[in-house]
A = this chain, B = another copy of it.
Amino acid sequence: MADIAKRSVDYNRWYQDVIQAAELADNSPVRGCMVIRPNGYAIWENIQRILDAKFKELGHVNAYFPLLIPKSFLAREAQHVEGFAKECAIVTHHRLKQVTENGKTTVIPDPESKLEEEYVIRPTSETVIWDMYRKWIQSYRDLPILINQWANVMRWEMRTRMFLRTTEFLWQEGHTAHATAAEARAETLQMLEVYRWFAEEILAMPVITGVKTANERFAGAVETFSIEAMMQDGKALQAGTSHDLGQNFAKAFDVKFQDAAGKVEHVWATSWGMSTRIIGALIMTHSDDEGLVLPPRIAATKAVIVPIWKNEEEMAQVCAAADGLAAQLRVAVGPVHVDRRDNMRPGWKYAEWERKGVPLRIELGPRDLAGQQVMMVARHDRKKEAVGFQQLAEAVTSELARIQQDLFDRAVTRRRENTHVIDSWEAFTGLFDGPGGFAECHWCGDGDCEKAVQEKTKVTIRNLPLVRDETPGACVHCGKPSIGRVVFAQSY
């Protein structure tokens, strides 16, 4: 088993090591793409299950649109093509041909199969979806349309990193159509709030909800909102976005509706997405030098029971007891695993389940069995407690709740300790040359000033928090009057 680098020594290697040690993902033979292994995919399945139920509770339904987008579609919305043309996979042929050269047979794209119009693998689906909405929307009675899609998308990234930035990634993309601007804005904010709820309540990851600057807006949006989380190295990670698209896509794809009074208007739109990137954020928010740490609500396995024995007779007894306890616990808290492998010592098993981030370990040896109790050990703080069989279901339930809350509190504390109110350029550069973190600074609202800060320091405005200090002040960079305090940080 490979060592895990220490965070304090090599944060980036630590991140890769945790992913390998927990068998979450692996590099693939396809440039910039990863393989999501069963342990990683189980987290994604929980994310899907919980988000999907919430979307449906709010009236959304799922559908599926084509992977390929005619290249001309991208060009219909001027900003959209600017944003996405530079990093897309292009399909140009539809057949391979075997050729033999110097006695060696290879395959090449068959020139005779060249497509009349090339396709782009969707980097996002606004264009192909709004082309369909034109067919489906005539009257206000057809609105709202509240559709979500679970899909793979592709953006040809030059520098990739597992989960955080990969050429192909999995996500959900919501695409809604509304009869009024106000309704579209309300939907945009509602879904932002869903993402905040999901990050904080399920992933135990505190986030700042806010509006992106014009420079950082989604290509084609009127306004982009985001949730921003702080990683353990003080950098920010954008963990979900919700866009008010105004009438931009409706105009580009000529989608109009007749309102109750008979007036014909363009439709208002939103889109919103969360991707497998969130798993990278999850890893970096809670894990430690021993491996993955997962909040119980998102962990695929809530607890692992490790039976301990010295001979076959003991093995039969503790395993039978472990199976009985596991059955009880599954009813109370969900998936519980019994590790009955016979080719590994308990200490090795403990270390393995710690690397894999199972929130709670339950040890059960012959002496425990005689005393009708187990030893319960929390993954994140190693808190140990002896618990009687009769009390186990209740104890595990409340211990998992404690772990969930503790992980959130720890992340909130870390964010508070690494967030600074900064009012001078000297303090600003001092912070980001040094420890980093979040800086709450006055900003003039000028995009050129924002870009100048980025060029000098690589620091960007993460967002303008929905709840922010709006007392007057001077821009931390240019000194001009401020529009309020915003959050600056280095980011993933």
Contacts and interface: CB of A to CB of B under 8 A. Distances in A.
B89 A90 contact: no
A336 to B, nearest CB: 15
B95 A33 contact: no
B141 A72 contact: no
A166 to B, nearest CB: 9
A28 B128 CA distance: 8
A118 interface: yes
Contacts of A143: none
Interface string A58-86: 00011111111111111100000100011
A35 B136 CA distance: 12
Contacts of A71: 96, 107
B91 A90 contact: yes
B131 A29 contact: yes
A93 B90 CA distance: 5
Nearest to A94: B156
A357 to B, nearest CB: 16
Given A29-B128, A69-B30, A62 B41 contact: yes
A42 B61 CA distance: 8
Given A29-B131, A152-B67, A107 B85 contact: yes
Contact of A81 (B91, B98, B128): B98
A92 interface: yes
A299 to B, nearest CB: 15
A207 interface: no
A309 interface: no
A217 B92 CA distance: 30
A21 interface: no
Contact of A86 (B28, B29, B69, B95): B95
A446 to B, nearest CB: 28
Nearest to A34: B66
A340 to B, nearest CB: 14
Interface string A30-63: 1001111110011011000000000000000111
Contacts of A154: 67
B95 A87 contact: yes
B74 A96 contact: yes
A63 B45 CA distance: 10
B85 A95 contact: yes
A107 B64 CA distance: 26
B67 A41 contact: no
A204 interface: no
Contacts of A121: 67, 91, 121
A162 to B, nearest CB: 13
A72 B35 contact: no
A170 interface: yes
Contacts of A156: 94-95
Contacts of A131: 29
A97 interface: yes
A334 to B, nearest CB: 14
A32 B34 CA distance: 29
11 contacts: A28-B128, A30-B68, A35-B63, A41-B63, A44-B64, A67-B121, A74-B96, A85-B97, A87-B94, A90-B91, A91-B91
